[in-house]
Amino acid sequence: MIKMKDLQKKYSGFDLNITMEIPEGTVTGLIGKNGAGKSTTIKSVLGLIRPDGGEITVLDKVPQEFTAQDREAIGAALSDSGFSMMLTIKDVIEILKSFYKEFQEEEFRRLCKEQDLPMDKQIKDFSSGMKAKLRVITAMSHNAKLLVLDEPTAGLDVLARNDVLDLLRNYMEEDSSRSILISSHISSDLEGLCDDIYMINKGRIILHEDTDTILGKYGILKVSEEEYASMDKQYLIAEKKDKFSHTCLTNEKQFYLDNYPNMVVENSSIDDMIVLMLGGKEK
Amino acid sequence: MRGLLIKDIRLLGQQKKLLIMYGAMAVILGYSMDSTFLVSYFPMIGLFLVLSTIANDNFDNGMAFLMTLPISGKLYAAEKYVISILVTIGTWICAVALQFVMLNIKHEEFAVANQLVQDLMFVPLFFLIIGLMIPMDLKFGTEKGRLVLFAIFGIFMVLVLGGKAVVEFLSKNAGLDVQGLLDSIKAMPGGMVCAVLFGVVILLLIVSIVLSIRIMQKKEY
């Protein structure tokens, strides 16, 4: 669905250089701190910016050469952009109907009703959660093969976030050939949704792993100075030194469980990974 | 393009209060003032309302999302010309109809053909505004676009005054017959002047469209 090879984009004080591949039928998460390059990556996929180098194809086409028909196969939701705030959902329905041949009006109305989105109210009077839900429902409204979502859950409370994630899960269940690229800095959102995760930092991909592998094989080791000095460090990915101890991230949790029975080994969440890989010292 | 047109029409529809006020003012002004004023005022306000949709599209970074819809920058630019021209012609027709009603109510005598030619003279002016403002708004955004437009008008005024000074100098020193030239223009039939004006402005509109399409194709969001 999406292939990027050494994709480059330079701004003053920031340069992006990434390689990624998103196959058909997968949900891929892109995580990283604010300013890491997530939105630049998403914009490159949508053809909103021109790359300075490298290669990118989306649905076998270069985004800059997308025709209207190509764009119909993509549903997009951007965190800081959407339909004019002056419009109502009724207006949005008429607009989408005339843009997309496959606009599913009944389904769109059903989802809006299910999520308590009012038809006649101007979007400017919606809460942040309602606006975010409308953006996602709009992206899903025309049977797109690929959804590209930039921070669709940013600024939402936990209930609204779950609603948005449920919408996406249902979308994937309807057709297994669909793909989603979703960026977020709230990694817990991605754990239960994504098949694989790319971690981006300062414009570079620093980790690509299946979510199951991250949750199953990665672990957090909490070790004293003495334990740290004597332990085998070949499976450590990142570490952070505290006052009297070390917190380490490993991609072979079982190795330490087997060989160091007294060591504190905890399951790792994506949040732990971010803290250690982006806040600690990479090995 | 249909989607973009519907979007802009819906956006204009959301400004109901403004549209009602604008209609009411047109009727009042049409009755109380010289009816020709109505034909210049009514389409001009309509045109500015349509051009405000560019500002609206840009508001809250909205262009980024618009460009993810099944459209291209080229189509976006073209649609702005289509809707501006449609609204200008539509409001001009309404204004002319209203003008004729007002002239009848006030029992003023007028020749329909002459009045129409006189009214038609405003249309190239509206097209000129479209041709200047759309590329400015697309390139610089609405606020900066207005400033650039004022700067252009400033330069234009300097050129006109400079040109006038040159013509006066030539008529005094080189025997240029300015009055004769003006008389021959005045002697031309109104319809011909109108046709020449339309020709010039349409050429300008074509240049403006090409420029706007290039601006949109180069833009990043």
Question: Looking at this predicted complex, what is its ipTM?
Answer: 0.85
A249-265 tens-digit pLDDT: 999 999 999 999 888 99
Structure tokens at A203: 């414009």
B14 with A95: Cβ contact below 8 A: no
Structure tokens at B195: 């046709």
A48 with B71: Cβ contact below 8 A: no
A215-239 tens-digit pLDDT: 889 999 999 988 889 999 999 988 8
A71 with B65: Cβ contact below 8 A: no
A68-86 tens-digit pLDDT: 889 999 999 998 889 999 9
**Residue A222 sits at the chain B interface (C-beta within 8 Å):** no
pLDDT at A283 over 70: no
DSSP letter assigned to residue A63: G
pLDDT at A281 over 70: no
A50 with B6: Cβ contact below 8 A: no
B111-134 tens-digit pLDDT: 788 888 888 888 998 999 999 989
Min Cα–Cα distance to chain A from B14, Å: 7
Alpha helices in chain A (DSSP H): 38-46, 68-72, 89-99, 105-114, 128-139, 158-174, 187-191, 211-217, 225-230, 253-259, 270-279
- What average pLDDT does this structure show over A202-214? 91
- Model pLDDT, residue B85: 94
Q: Find which of A62, A80, A81 to mutate to test the B interface (most B CBs within 10 Å of its CB).
A: A81
The span from the CA of B137 to the CA of B145, in Å, is: 5
Q: Find which of B65, B75, B76, B218 to mutate to test the A interface (most A CBs within 10 Å of its CB).
A: B65
* Residuewise pLDDT in 10s, chain B (221 residues): 889 999 999 988 888 787 788 778 777 877 777 777 788 888 888 888 898 899 889 888 889 999 999 999 999 999 999 999 999 999 999 889 988 888 888 777 777 888 888 888 889 989 999 999 899 999 988 777 677 777 877 887 788 788 878 887 877 777 777 777 777 777 777 778 888 888 999 999 999 999 999 999 999 98
Helix (H/G/I), strand (E/B), else coil: A192: coil
The pLDDT-based confidence of A32 (bands split at 50, 70, 90) is confident
% of chain A beyond a pLDDT of 70: 99
- Model pLDDT, residue B104: 84
Q: Find which of A95, A119, A137 to mutate to test the B interface (most B CBs within 10 Å of its CB).
A: A95
Min Cα–Cα distance to chain A from B198, Å: 33
Nearest to B136 by CA among B125, B126, B150, B122: B150
The pLDDT-based confidence of A186 (bands split at 50, 70, 90) is confident
pLDDT at A187 over 90: no
**C-alpha torsion sign, points B42, B44, B50, B55:** negative
Min Cα–Cα distance to chain B from A215, Å: 34
Other Cβ atoms closer than 10 A to A109: 17
Given a contact cutoff of 8 angstroms between Cβ atoms, the answer to whether A152 and A186 are in contact is no
Please state the length of chain B.
Answer: 221
pLDDT at A280 over 70: no
Instruction: Give the alpha-carbon dihedral of A112, A114, A116, A117, to 10 degrees.
Output: 0
The domain ranges of chain B are: 2-218
The span from the CA of A44 to the CA of A178, in Å, is: 20
- Model pLDDT, residue A113: 93
Other Cβ atoms closer than 10 A to B219: 17
Given a contact cutoff of 8 angstroms between Cβ atoms, the answer to whether B190 and B117 are in contact is yes
DSSP letter assigned to residue A144: -
- Model pLDDT, residue B83: 95
HSE-up of A65 (CA within 13 Å, CB side)? 7
Q: Find the residue in A nearest to B6 (Cα).
A: A95
Residues from B contacting A (CB-CB < 8 Å) are 2-3, 6-7, 10-11, 13-15, 56-57, 59-65, 67-72, 75, 220-221
Q: Find the residue in B nearest to A69 (Cα).
A: B70
The span from the CA of A227 to the CA of B204, in Å, is: 79
**Residue A122 sits at the chain B interface (C-beta within 8 Å):** yes
Structure tokens at B150: 């004022």
The pLDDT-based confidence of A282 (bands split at 50, 70, 90) is low
A146 vs B197, residue with greater confidence: A146
What's the Cα-to-Cα distance from A31 to each of A82, A186, A202, rounded to whole Å?
Answer: 22, 8, 12
pTM beyond 0.90: the answer is no
- Model pLDDT, residue A16: 95
**Environment class of B67 (CB within 10 Å of its CB; exposed 0-12, middle 13-18, buried 19+):** buried
